[in-house]
Amino acid sequence: MKKRYIIEFGTGADLHGGNQTKAAIRAIQDATSRSCLCGLEEVLQGDPLQMHVHAKIGCTDPDSIDKEAVLSAIPVGTGEIEVVPGGLCVPGLSVPEFGQGDTIQIVIAALTVWAEVDSRASDD
């Protein structure tokens, strides 16, 4: 039986060029950098690869996201991604050395961590 253990949020931005995939990866990294799932070590009997992470990404252009690149930012376990309209886009400053364009893209990520647990163990 799968049990949900934590939901963590993160934000990421691309300040020059409007790259939503880059911003989404930063949002995943932001969320994971503030999460210590030490209780899952006992639940998963020391194997963090048994955890499953659902990443819900909110951005202004969902079709532009490279889902595989964003999934690769999840450090352990298996992952799945859902991309929905959201995020924020504002005019910025064009600095060609930093990226193409002058658009700031802000993306939000909600990471839900699940673990497969033995249903008998949860009845104790």
| Residue 87 CA to its chain's centroid (Å) | 13
**Is the residue at 123 inside a domain?**
no
Rounded distance between C-alpha atoms, residue 61 and residue 45, angstroms? 40
Rounded distance between C-alpha atoms, residue 35 and residue 64, angstroms? 27
Indicate the burial class of 100 (C-beta count within 10 angstroms; 0-12, 13-18, 19 or more).
Answer: exposed
CATH code: domain of residue 44: 3.30.1330.20
Q: What is the mean pLDDT of the chain?
A: 88
Residue 7's domain spans which residues?
2-118
**Is the residue at 124 inside a domain?**
no
Q: pLDDT band for position 48 (50/70/90)?
A: low
Residue 95 pLDDT greater than 90, yes or no: no
pLDDT of 14-25, one tens digit each? 998 889 999 999
Residue 31 pLDDT greater than 60, yes or no: yes
Give me the percent of the chain exceeding a pLDDT of 90: 57
Q: How many domains does the chain have?
A: 1
Q: Can you point out the beta strands (E) in 2-117?
A: 2-14, 51-59, 78-85, 88-91, 103-116
pLDDT value for 106 = 97
Q: How far is CA 29 from CA 7, 9, 36, in A?
A: 14, 10, 13
Rounded distance between C-alpha atoms, residue 33 and residue 26, angstroms? 10
Q: pLDDT band for position 46 (50/70/90)?
A: low
**Is the residue at 10 inside a domain?**
yes
Mean pLDDT of all residues in 2-6:
86
Rounded distance between C-alpha atoms, residue 105 and residue 60, angstroms? 8
